[in-house]
Amino acid sequence: MVEEKKEEEEIIDYWWNIVVELVIKIETSAIQRTKQVSLCEEGLYTSKSLLMASAFGDLRGTFFGVPNDENDE
């Protein structure tokens, strides 16, 4: 009885930790997308730098201050 309850609690803890990790990942992803959209709307980075940022999953790949990438093509 005690052993079954302990096993049940371990299973609940295991799944709870997975749920918490997923929620954190979803929130982090939403925050990153919001930052990217805000910067894009303000014209602070271009489509190429947005693509690079998306590849890295954050803003590490952005080039601030580049007006556009028409000349890069």
Model pLDDT, residue 61: 43
Global pTM reads 0.42
Which pLDDT tens digits describe the chain residue by residue (73 residues)?
A: 788 888 999 999 999 989 888 888 888 887 777 766 666 666 555 556 555 555 555 444 444 444 444 554 4
Q: Token pair 């990438």 is at which residue? A: 69
Question: Which among 56, 71, 62 has a CA at the least distance from the CA of 43?
Answer: 62
- CA 49, chain centre distance (Å): 16
The Cα 63–Cα 43 span in angstroms is 11
